[in-house]
Amino acid sequence: MTTSSASDLLGLRADLATRAAYTSDASIYRRMPAGVLEPTSEGHLAQGLAWARARGLGVISRGGGTSVAGNAIGEGLVLDTSRYLNDCQIDPEQSCATVQPGLVCDDLRTAAAVHGLTYGPDPSTHSRCTIGGMVANNACGSHSVAWGTSAENLRAVRMLLADGRVFEAWKGGCDDPRIEAELRSLVQQNAELIRAELGRFPRQVSGYGLHYLLPEKGFDVAKALAGSEGTCGVFTQLTVDLVRPPAATALAVLGYPDAFAAARAAATLRRPGVLTIEGMGSDLLAALRSRPGRGQDGQALPAGGAWLYCEVAGADPAGAQAAAEELLEFAGAQAQPDPDRAGSTGEVVTGVVVTDRAQSRLLWGIREAAAGIATRRADGGEAWPGWEDSAVPVEHLADYLRDLYALMAERGLRGIPFGHFGEGCIHVRIDFDLGSEQGIAAYREFIVDAAKLVHRYGGSVSGEHGDGRARSEMLAQMYSPQMLALFARFKAIFDPDGALNPGVLVNPEPVDDRLRPGPGLRTHVVIPVHALSRDGGDFASAINRCVGVGVCRSDTGAMCPSYQATRDEVHTTRGRARVLAEMLRGENLTGGWDNPQTLEALDLCLSCKACSTECPVNVDMATYKAEFLHHHYAHRRRPMAHYAMGWLPVSAALVSALPGLGKAVNQAMRVRPLEKAVLRAAGLETRRSMVSFAEHLSLAQWFAQRARRGQAPMPAPQAPVIVLWPDTFTNHLSPHVGIAGVEVLEALGFHVVLPRGPVCCGLTWHSTGQLDVTKAALRRSLTALAPHIAAGHRVVGLEPSCLVMLSEAHELLPEDERARALKPLLATFAEIVDERAEAGNWPFARIEAKAVTQVHCHQKATRGSAPDERVLARLGVDLDLVGGGCCGLAGNFGFEQGHYEVSQACAERELFPKVNAGDGLVIADGFSCRTQVGQGTEATGRHLAEVLRSALVR
């Protein structure tokens, strides 16, 4: 994947999987690059430029790839600086930092925080966007009210010109006499034109920042290059200002009747000490609450149809709170009637002040996820960027927004507004029909009319994030022909041959040219096995969920484990979605389901399910991978590992069926050469150890034998029945966990039963894409559970992944009402114990221990760990939660050949270090998690059921 091609450019990636992963950013545009280079140094960058120049290819600079305007894609050579060029040097005395372009914004802020400083610009993608990309697109973020745009925070730049020469610029000049002379001539000849058309309000970032070259701006060549979108040079080093954040802040949230009222109020709130004035409408909250597990989000918001988030500074927490409360009073006093609403008072509906950091982060999380959330409406409809970052002087925002809504209504369109209301900048995702030629024509007409509208209000087609392919053509609606000619002259001074990011700003490509979700995506006939109920059964629509906002590139959170291990874009959820989309399109990745590049891109997906909830639009790559594997191997031999691991439920049951066989197999596998030979023959990783089978009785055998011998406790007459799910791992590999679970549940007063007959959720078959067998296993299990479903009995799972598989059975068996009826009856072991504890049933002694806890990735993604944490807190356990997501073993993944390094790297991120540093319990409910701990450390993982049984008061 990372090897060079047969060219003379070291590190060039020209394979189809990589190129497909880079076909888009966070925009609606699609371009297949000729190759991708992840440069390791300035010299390596220069080699890339020379290679592209020799072949007549354009060069596209790219950071985190979070551009919403198609700024970071192209058909030439993509230079991705994010993987290696991320060095940072802080100068606290000068309050600045010198950074390489691939440094992530949050990493700069973390480094600056050591010195009591921060970087002011903070777009919502701050956890993964890079400083180079922010400066190139003149990103701003929520704090621009206080600290300005990326351009305003830039001191100096170092970049490579298209011919490979090094160029440096700063306020007052640059190091190239020719370029400086031409720039001075440009500004001297056109000063009045520049003053008339540029720099009229803070968020006018469309076009080039030529106003920074004016004498009153100090002839600041560096700032003039901010927002140039890689069309003038390739950044290699940037010196940026750092600011000292306030000692304390509080968040004032103001509720208004609608977005227009909020927009009207925003202009009045630009007061000293107010750091943010962010707005969003109720449609955004409704869209968020339609997502799995997000129904309670935003409960702390005051009543209203739209909200403003106003972060207020203070010398201390009390001062910040007082300032925020004063702002609430001021906002109420300033409220004006809405002239377009009969009987309107314009009063603030209500307001709250939030000082708790955790609550504040939850609220900010809604706003920061908006770019992804808004792409799926509450009714499931798709919405797209396009008219994404328009801005007007803030005093005109309400009128502009009302007219924009009128324009959408006239065209039968709907959109969800959010953005930097205090700066007059609006983000909106609109439900354009981009799947048909007629819809694309309508899209173009709307964009042209919207550009004319924003120009009428003295605004800008872009208020941040640059013009890219989405808006560059519309500069002609905003600027005079003379200014457009001046832009072309400016670019030519740096890039006379037009080799850098062609098609952007100067000689722009049409706004409707080659859209990613366009008609071509749906030409490949796809009939999925999964119902894909959220996407109307359409695999292409499911893939289209990925809009590219890039949360899967963040270091925080559980998504995406393989990317966190490799730092390879192909291994992000987004990269895989792009490859799948190209497979569906069939132009470059041919053969549909048979395509080998798609198989390669999906190979390192751990199917951890983190993306299904952490992704703002709930891309579910685990499901898409299972679907792909099912079709890919429909008519060909599978890897041996698919048989060895996929059919584990059958082989484990056969071993359990023969007395003494489990013990004999375990003893044989202790002979290391024999064990390695068996692993190799099964297509498994020989550096692993075989899992052990139950040496005496399976859980089901123990349970039946106990009943036959009359050793089971007699349940109380009114004891509630609870069904313990005997998953394959618990039943045949670790029955001691199941026995502990039975004893704890009985101590809690339940009448514990097991389903009759052999059952299985089909997880191992699902993860290897054997979906027909998965469906058969689920049907058989539903039949066994049918009496309990009809009786409304709770079903408790000890293995989190199996519980999640059961909860999603309706996606594979949509016609089976039993599958849907089962879902609300399912519960984790901790949920049941927590419920009984709340009811006063707690037969456990405190154990006062320390514990490292690995929450299973499927549980973390779907149900969370709050009940587990409450139960362990009652036990007196000092809990250290592993926050890095998947343990890395992920069922069959870590056992398959070719996955060992990534599997171990995932565990080394946090799990192994915490376990090795601890001296207490290691709690892990997942069989894979306990196996990973046991094979990678000296510790032994224990299930919560085992811990609770040890604490039972006998």
Quick one: three-class SS letters along 87-130? CEEEECCCCEEEECCCCEHHHHHHHHHCCCCECCCECCCCCCCE
Residue 526 confidence (pLDDT):
74
Neighbours of 648 (CB within 10 A): 22
Sorted by sequence, the CB contacts under 8 Å of residue 858 that are 6+ apart come out as: 608, 609, 800, 801, 803, 804, 926
pLDDT of residue 523: 47
Q: Helix axis angle, 829-838 relative to 866-874, nearest 10°?
A: 60
Q: Who's near 292: CB < 8 A, 6+ residues apart?
A: 612, 613, 618, 862
Query: Residue 343: its pLDDT value, please?
Result: 46
Tell me how far apart the terminal alpha carbons of the chain are, to the nearest angstrom.
58
The C-alpha atoms of residue 258 and residue 127 are separated, in whole angstroms, by 30
Q: Which residues of the chain have pLDDT under 70?
A: 1-7, 287-299, 335-349, 368-380, 521-525
Residue 821 pLDDT: 97
Distance CA 388, CA 462 (A): 8
pLDDT score for 344: 45
* Cα distances (angstroms) measured from residue 87 to each of 107, 239, 354: 10, 12, 36
CA atoms within 13 A on the CB side of 466: 30
pTM: 0.92
Q: Are 756 and 786 in contact (CB under 8 A)?
A: no
Q: Which residues pair with 942 in a beta bridge?
A: 923
Sheet containing strand 921-924, edge to edge, reads 878-881, 850-854, 921-924
The DSSP code for 220 is B
Instruction: Reply yes or no: is the peptide bond before residue 560 cis, omega within 30 of 0.
Output: yes
- 884 contacts 914 by C-beta, under 8 angstroms: no
Residue 231 DSSP label: S
How many residues are given for the chain? 954
pLDDT reported for residue 850: 95
Instruction: State the pLDDT at residue 4.
Output: 40
Q: How does DSSP classify residue 735?
A: H
79 within 8 A of 45, measured Cβ to Cβ: yes
- 585 touches 519 (CB < 8 A): no
Structural contact between residues 601 and 579, judged by C-beta atoms closer than 8 angstroms: yes
